[in-house]
Structure 1
């Protein structure tokens, strides 16, 4: 589904949050690869589950036409610096819920981009009768956990000792928000 563009100004950084468009596909491929290499907070290492430009075109088309998926990007001066996605599915038993995921370039952390992705996604989900949003977050990502709790997410479970690229084991929290 498509949403209206929103503009934000945080600490002198002006950015837009808008629906992903097919023209963004190659930039999204490169952006995702860069984000995966900048943080241990994601479940992928750089290059794992790589999606090329054509793959992103397919995802953008599918999400744009879907009633229970949304794909957002953050743009600064014409350059993509982050993305989020709420992915639903068409199975009747789970069509009421979706999974939220987010990634922002490290240079743009602290400007509320992730928070605004979450806020817009929750607002969209509530307006479209989505009953549940789920997400996974490392238990060491305390800022994200606080943010998610502030938006009504609760811990529903724990995946214990998930191996990360640094060779250490961490717990992954399964969180959900009911509408």
Structure 2
């Protein structure tokens, strides 16, 4: 789950159970959130790098947005009693077209027609959702080398990574 600061007597801290921004595909089926609390995480771009070096800003080449598959959770901060929402993007194994940018994993991209089944509260048998966990590059990507993940200043010419056929 996304690392969310929690209020404590000495300031803000993160809850250890909800630390990860990502939920791995090979572990997500075991999580109750996968059966009952799936979500869509919209994004216009994301950054990947290999071991924190040579980051690239990745955007749909056609200028549209991504719909990443995720899970979400609501939990209570024990110190304050406050309820906090957090979410994780499901990640899949690395994909060949991105191996020079990030070998380890890629966000799970949902197809344009995925929202009804993916978000359906009635779908709790996750076997019917397995096809969402298949590797797919759903659009051509514009990849721009950048200086730092937080600044995103281009340091090289962008190139296109074509969709797999």
Higher helix share: 1
Kindly indicate whether structure 1 or structure 2 has the higher relative contact order, using CA contacts under 8 Å at least 6 residues apart: 2
Who wins on radius of gyration, i.e. which is larger? 2
- TM score, norm. by length of structure 2: 0.28
- TM score, norm. by length of structure 1: 0.27
